[in-house]
């Protein structure tokens, strides 16, 4: 069962407590916009020349398909760039674990987890990380490659362990100070 977002502040502001983990990730795009413009220009020239050639041969319907191919190619790249605008942030501080996600449309969703029960796992079946706590499950980092997901899972798991160790230390300190 996926977790429902809670209404939290859209911004994860400066920490007021010690921070154990603070990371942001987004999909990488290997084709910069300038190179995309050059690619589309080159394809447009090729499509125009090929279309003109078939038009001169009398096969005028073929010319339209070259334009259609170009338009579909452009649309596919625009959708790819749009999906690359997703961002995810994860912060673990002394109080709680907060996950914030910004969709390609600019919508912001946030989830808050109790770190004591939070567990991170690399779910290879869906090629993503799963953050689990109290029967809730949140899928993270679906757009990252396997090595990046493993590294994030390792770092977040270590941060959760450090958080737990500090919690035990704080509890022992409170107990000892109460006995004085």
Q: Check residue 141 and give left, alpha or beta (phi > 0: left; psi -120 to 50: alpha).
A: left
pLDDT exceeds 90 at position 177: no
What is the CB neighbour count within 10 angstroms for residue 133?
19
pLDDT exceeds 60 at position 159: yes
Is residue 8 one of the residues assigned to a domain? no
Total domain count for the chain?
2
Contact 101, 88 (CB under 8 A): yes
Mean pLDDT computed over every residue of the chain:
85
- Strand, coil or helix: 4: coil
Q: Please identify, among 64, 83, 102, the residue that sits at the C-terminal boundary of a domain.
A: 83
Q: Are residues 72 and 125 in the same domain?
A: no
What was the pLDDT predicted at 81?
87
Is residue 9 one of the residues assigned to a domain? no
Q: Are residues 98 and 139 in the same domain?
A: yes
Is residue 14 one of the residues assigned to a domain? no
pLDDT exceeds 50 at position 10: no
pLDDT exceeds 60 at position 174: yes
119 or 124: which leads in pLDDT: 119
Q: Are residues 72 and 107 in the same domain?
A: no
pLDDT exceeds 90 at position 44: yes
Is residue 98 one of the residues assigned to a domain? yes
Is residue 12 one of the residues assigned to a domain? no
Contact 17, 95 (CB under 8 A): yes
* 12 vs 152: CA distance, rounded Å: 19
Is residue 107 one of the residues assigned to a domain? yes
Q: Are residues 98 and 72 in the same domain?
A: no
Q: Are residues 127 and 72 in the same domain?
A: no
Over residues 129-138, mean pLDDT = 90
CA dist list (Å): 36 to 44, 84, 92, 108: 12, 14, 38, 28
12 or 131: which leads in pLDDT: 131
Is residue 124 one of the residues assigned to a domain? yes
H helix intervals, 4-59: 33-56
What was the pLDDT predicted at 9?
45
What is Dmax (Cα atoms) for the chain? Answer: 99
- The proportion of the chain whose per-residue pLDDT surpasses 70, expressed as a percent, equals 84
What was the pLDDT predicted at 40?
94
Is residue 103 one of the residues assigned to a domain? yes
Over residues 129-142, mean pLDDT = 90
Q: 103 lies in which domain range?
A: 19-28+87-179
Contact 130, 111 (CB under 8 A): no
What was the pLDDT predicted at 178?
62
Q: Are residues 92 and 68 in the same domain?
A: no
What was the pLDDT predicted at 72?
94
CATH number reported for the structural domain that contains residue 96 in this entry: 2.30.29
Contact 120, 135 (CB under 8 A): no
pLDDT exceeds 50 at position 3: no
- The pLDDT tens digits of the residues spanning 62-104 come to 888 888 999 999 999 988 888 888 999 999 998 889 999 999 9
Q: Are residues 48 and 102 in the same domain?
A: no
- The proportion of the chain whose per-residue pLDDT surpasses 90, expressed as a percent, equals 46
Strands 136-140 and 128-133, bridge-based pairing: antiparallel
- The pLDDT tens digits of the residues spanning 14-35 come to 556 789 999 999 888 888 889 9
* 140 vs 87: CA distance, rounded Å: 10
């Amino acid at each position: 069962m996926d977790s429902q977002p809670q209404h939290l502040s859209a911004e994860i502001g400066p920490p007021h407590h010690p921070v154990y983990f603070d990371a942001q990730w987004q999909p990488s795009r290997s084709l910069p916009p300038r190179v995309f413009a050059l690619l589309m220009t080159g394809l447009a020239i090729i499509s125009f020349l090929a279309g003109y050639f078939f038009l001169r041969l009398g096969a005028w319907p073929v010319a339209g398909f070259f334009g259609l191919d170009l338009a579909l190619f452009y649309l596919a790249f625009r959708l790819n760039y749009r999906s690359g605008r997703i961002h995810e942030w994860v912060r673990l501080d002394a109080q709680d674990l907060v996950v914030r996600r910004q969709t390609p449309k600019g919508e912001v969703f946030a989830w808050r987890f109790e770190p004591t029960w939070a567990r991170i796992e690399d779910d290879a079946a869906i090629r993503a990380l799963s953050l689990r706590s109290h029967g809730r499950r949140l899928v993270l980092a679906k757009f990252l490659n396997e090595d990046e997901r493993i590294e994030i899972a390792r770092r977040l798991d270590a941060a959760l362990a450090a958080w737990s160790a500090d919690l035990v230390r704080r509890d022992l300190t409170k107990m000892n100070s109460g006995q004085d």
